[in-house]
Amino acid sequence: VLAYTAKYASAFYGPFREAVSSTLEGDRRTYQQDPANAREALREATLDLAEGADMLLVKPALGYLDVLRDVAALSAVPVAAYNVSGEYSMVEAAASAGYIQREEAIVEVLTSIRRAGADFVLTYWAAEAAGWLPG
């Protein structure tokens, strides 16, 4: 069981919602966590572990590296991080405009997520980055 331990209400979901033409209306903040509240993720992690979760998830990843670190420190099970569409799009747009080196930026992003405590990273770059990164 992969528990959605920390799914924050985030502007970084925008590109995905646009790509799938999401017409969902309403305030997602009623069921997604407040970006200002890191403690809620720790409470959720504790509950998820008590309920038998096999893995915990933090989503999005980059803006929540502190939460990822704290959840990983608390967890006896693997922790995954989801590098969401907006995070992906920022790097791709900056690289397309010539502001950053694409491959170097991708490796840096994924390395920072792993360094913060993710055992697994879900990312749109998975197939491509698998050839660049060590185990």
Which residue shows structure tokens 């747009």? 93
Q: Among 15, 59, 70, 79, which one carries the catalytic annotation?
A: 59
Q: Is 74 a catalytic residue?
A: no
Alpha carbon 31 to chain centroid distance? 17
Q: Among 7, 13, 15, 82, which one carries the catalytic annotation?
A: 7
Q: Is 123 a catalytic residue?
A: no
Query: Helix axis angle, 102-115 relative to 85-96, nearest 10°?
Result: 150
Catalytic residue numbers read 7, 59
